[in-house]
């Protein structure tokens, strides 16, 4: 995949926010231009699961993420948007992007996308990806799943959306949680057509 246009990465308010952060780290380290949208409802979960504190201020989010990932400001290409900035670049189809990854994707966000409710910047950007036929990968996080969740995901799948549940395979002989996170992050990138060697692939 070409790395000229930005890729949109969204983190919604579901458990497993580490997948979004791990993807961000990979993309920035591999010179992708990333536009990050974090659901304001995810701030609490991010603090609870990662100890990373966010308030509704994009300069602060930017600084806290850079510090958390221990990246040098000069080497990164990151734009942060708030979820209520509906005038942001990715909200328009005329703004070219490589597409979008939502990791983790809450059932609420998936429901909104599957019914065309583009009421925040995450769901609006996903709606743009669908109408412009751009790559859209969602990482649904809920268990167990009810029929509404499944129907919403089926609807998105039929529209060409990559549905990548964060479920580990065990053939890579993983030993740690880090191995499992890398495996899932690698599978998300695979589905999004982004080269990576984050996990050991099956071979005889
Ligand atoms: C600690 C916590 C964990 C949650 N985990 C999930 C989850 O894994 N999956 C999910 O669909 N919703 C989860 N929720 C509920 C969502 O946060 C809630 O539906 C929210 O409205 C989703 O907002 P968003 O999709 O706009 O980000 C969780 C809520 C909290 C407080």
In a domain, 201, yes or no: no
Atom of ligand 1 nearest to the CA of 108: 25
How many Å apart are CA 70 and CA 56, to the nearest integer? Answer: 21
- 86: domain CATH number is 3.40.50.1950
Ligand 1 pocket test, candidate residues 14, 86, 102, most atoms within 8 A of CB: 14
Number of domains in the chain: 1
pTM of the predicted structure, to 2 decimals: 0.97
So what's the pLDDT on residue 114?
98
Q: 124: domain range?
A: 7-191
How many Å apart are CA 1 and CA 57, to the nearest integer? Answer: 32
Query: For residue range 30-75, what is the model confidence (pLDDT) as tens digits?
Result: 999 999 999 999 999 999 999 999 999 999 999 999 999 998 877 7
In a domain, 93, yes or no: yes
In a domain, 1, yes or no: no
Sort strands 162-163 and 136-140 into parallel, antiparallel or unpaired: parallel
In a domain, 43, yes or no: yes
So what's the pLDDT on residue 71?
86
Find the angle CA(127)-CA(129)-CA(135) to the nearest 5 degrees. Answer: 140
Atom of ligand 1 nearest to the CA of 48: 1
**The token pair that represents 137 in the structure block:** 């990968």
């Amino acid at each position: 995949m070409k790395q000229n246009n930005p890729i949109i990465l969204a983190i919604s308010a579901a458990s497993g926010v580490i997948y979004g952060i791990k993807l961000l780290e990979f993309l920035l380290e591999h010179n992708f231009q990333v536009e990050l949208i974090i659901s304001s409802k995810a701030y609490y979960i991010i603090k609870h699961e990662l100890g990373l504190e966010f308030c509704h201020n994009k300069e602060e989010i930017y600084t806290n993420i850079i510090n958390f990932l221990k990246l040098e400001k000069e080497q990164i290409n990151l734009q942060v948007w708030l979820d209520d900035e509906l005038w942001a670049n990715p909200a328009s189809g005329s703004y070219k992007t490589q597409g979008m990854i939502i990791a983790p994707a809450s059932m609420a966000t998936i429901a909104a996308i599957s019914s065309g409710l583009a009421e925040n910047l995450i769901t609006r950007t996903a709606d743009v990806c669908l109408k412009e036929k751009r790559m859209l990968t969602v990482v649904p996080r809920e268990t167990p799943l009810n029929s509404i969740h499944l129907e919403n995901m089926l609807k998105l799948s039929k529209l060409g959306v990559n549905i990548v549940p964060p479920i580990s395979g065990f053939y890579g002989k993983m030993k740690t949680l880090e191995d499992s996170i890398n495996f899932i992050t690698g599978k998300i990138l695979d589905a999004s057509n982004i080269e990576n060697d984050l996990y050991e692939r099956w071979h005889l």
